[in-house]
Amino acid sequence: MPQNFDQLLVDLIHRWNNSTAPRRSEAAGSRWQDPLIEQIIPDGASVLDLGCGTGQLLARLVARKRIRAQGIELDPDMVFQSIERGVEVFMTDLDTGLQGFPDHSFDYVILEETLQTLRRPIDVLEEMLRVGRVGIISFPNFGYWRVRAELLLTGQMPRTPALPYQWFNTPNIHLCTLQDFLQWAHSRNVQINQGHSLVNGQVRPLQTGDDLDAEEVLLVVQRS
Amino acid sequence: MVDPSKSPRSGQARPADPPDSPFSVGYTEPKHVQLSANEPFALEAGGSLRDITVEYETYGSLSPKRDNVILICHGFSADAHAAGWDRNVPAGRTWRSKGPGWWDAMIGPGKPLDTNRFFILCSNFLGGCFGTTGPASINPVSGKSYALDFPVVTVGDWVRLQAKLLDVLHLPRIFMVVGGSMGGVQALEWALQFPERVERAVILAASPRLSAQGLAFNAVGRQAIMNDPNFHAGNYYAASPPTQGLGVARMMAHITFLSEQAMHAKFGRRLQDKSKPDFHFGVEFQVESYLAHQGRIFAERFDANSYLYLTRAMDYYDAAQQWGGGDLIEACRRIQSKIMAVSFATDWLYPPADCKEFALAMCRAGKSVTYVDVPSRFGHDAFLVETAPVSRLLRAATGGPW
| DSSP designation for B13 | P
What's the sign of the alpha-carbon dihedral B33, B34, B39, B43? Answer: positive
DSSP-assigned beta bridge partners for residue B200: B176, B338
CA distance B82 to B56: 10
Q: Closest by alpha carbon to B291, among B280, B302, B299?
A: B299
pLDDT tens digit sequence for A144-177: 999 999 999 999 999 998 999 999 999 999 999 9
pLDDT confidence band for A3 (50 / 70 / 90): low
pLDDT value, residue B10: 41
Q: What is the arithmetic mean of pLDDT over A47-66?
A: 96
The shortest CB-CB distance from B364 to any of A83, A87, A101 is to A101
Nearest CA to CA, how far is B363 from chain A (Å)? Answer: 7
Average pLDDT over residues B252-274: 95
The reply to whether A115 touches chain B by the CB within 8 Å rule is no
Asked whether residue B358 carries a pLDDT value surpassing 70, the answer given is yes
What Cα–Cα distance (Å) separates residue B101 from each residue in B2, B21, B113, B393? 12, 14, 14, 20
Q: In this complex, do B372 and A76 lie within 8 Å of one another by their Cβ atoms? A: yes
Check whether B402 has a pLDDT greater than 70: no
Would you call B384 helix, strand, or coil by DSSP? Answer: helix
Read off the pTM: 0.93
Of A68, A76, A88, the CB nearest to B370: A88
CA of B320 to nearest chain A CA: how many angstroms apart? 17
Q: Is A173 exposed, middle or buried (0-12, 13-18, 19+ CB in 10 A)?
A: exposed
Least confident of A94-98, B58-62, B148-152, B204-208: A94-98
Please answer yes or no on whether A105 and B366 come within 8 Å at the CB atom.
yes
Q: What's residue A98's pLDDT?
A: 83
Q: Assess whether pLDDT exceeds 50 at residue B113.
A: yes
* pLDDT tens digits, one per residue of B174-206: 999 999 999 999 999 999 999 999 999 999 999
Closest of A170, A141, A166, A142 to residue A156, by C-alpha: A166
pLDDT tens track for A99-143: 888 999 999 999 999 999 999 999 999 999 999 999 999 999 999
Residues of A in contact with B333 (CB under 8 A): none
Mean pLDDT of chain B: 94
Write the Ramachandran bin of B301: left for phi over 0, alpha for psi from -120 to 50, otherwise beta.
alpha
Catalytic amino acids of B? 181, 347, 380
Gap between the Cα atoms of A63 and A59, Å rounded: 6
Residue B138 has what DSSP assignment?
B
Residues of B in contact with A102 (CB under 8 A): 364, 366
Burial letters for B250-288: b for 16+ Cβ neighbours within 10 Å, e otherwise?
Answer: bbbbbbbbbbeebbeeebeeebeeeeeeeeeeebbebbe
A86-122 per-residue burial string, b: 16 or more CB within 10 A, e: under 16: bbbbbbbebbebbeebeeebbbbbbbbbbbbbbeebe
- 3-state secondary structure (DSSP) of residue A183: helix
- What residue of B is the nearest CA neighbor of A131? B364
Q: Name the minimum distance, in Å, from the CA of B78 to any CA of chain A.
A: 28
Confidence at residue B228, expressed as pLDDT on a 0 to 100 scale: 98
- The confidence score (pLDDT) of residue A20 equals 80
B340–A100 CB contact, under 8 Å: no
Q: How far apart are CA B325 and CA B264, in angstroms?
A: 42
Q: How many CB atoms lie within 10 A of CB A138?
A: 23
Q: What does each C-alpha distance from B255 to B49, B90, B346 come to in angstroms? A: 34, 29, 13
Q: Under an 8 A CB cutoff, do B396 and A86 touch?
A: yes
pLDDT at B102 over 60: yes
Predicted confidence (pLDDT) at residue B6 exceeds the cutoff of 50: no
C-beta of residue B146 within 8 angstroms of C-beta of residue B135: yes
Chain B neighbors of A101, CB-CB under 8 A: 363-364
pLDDT > 70? residue A28: no
Is the CB of residue A51 less than 8 Å from the CB of residue A112?
yes
Q: Which of residues 69-98 of A touch B (CB under 8 A)?
A: 69-70, 76, 79-80, 83-84, 86-92
Closest residue of chain B to A76, computed from CA coordinates: B374
ipTM of the complex: 0.91
- pLDDT of B268-325, one tens digit each? 999 999 999 999 999 999 999 999 999 999 999 999 999 999 999 999 999 999 999 9
Element (H, E) at B53: strand B52-59
Inform me whether the pLDDT recorded for A218 exceeds 70: yes
The 10s digit of each residue's pLDDT in B128-178 is: 999 999 999 999 989 999 999 999 999 999 999 999 999 999 999 999 999
What percent of chain B clears pLDDT 70, i.e. is strictly above it?
96
Residues in chain A: 224
Distance of alpha carbon A163 from alpha carbon A142, whole angstroms: 9
B163, B165, B166, B169 alpha-carbon torsion, rounded to 10°: 160
CA distance A216 to chain B (A): 30
Residue from the list B364, B366, B368 with its beta carbon closest to the beta carbon of A69: B368
* B27-to-A170, B17, B290 alpha-carbon distances in Å: 55, 12, 31
pLDDT in tens, B115-128: 999 999 999 999 99
Q: Is the pLDDT of residue B65 over 70?
A: yes
Give residue A110's pLDDT: 98
What count of Cα atoms within 13 Å lies in the side-chain half-sphere of residue B96?
A: 27
- Neighbouring residues of A16: CB distance < 8 A, sequence distance ≥ 6: A146, A149, A153
| B338 vs B5, more confident | B338
Nearest alpha carbon to residue B108 among B117, B99, B96, B95: B117
DSSP of A144-158, one letter per residue?
Answer: -HHHHHIIIII-S--
B229-240, pLDDT tens digit by residue? 999 999 999 999
Cross-strand bridge partners of residue B72: B122, B178
Cβ contacts from A onto B, under 8 A: 63
The pLDDT, as a whole number, for residue B8 is 36
**Helical segments of A150-209, H only:** 178-187
pLDDT (0 to 100) of residue B36: 83
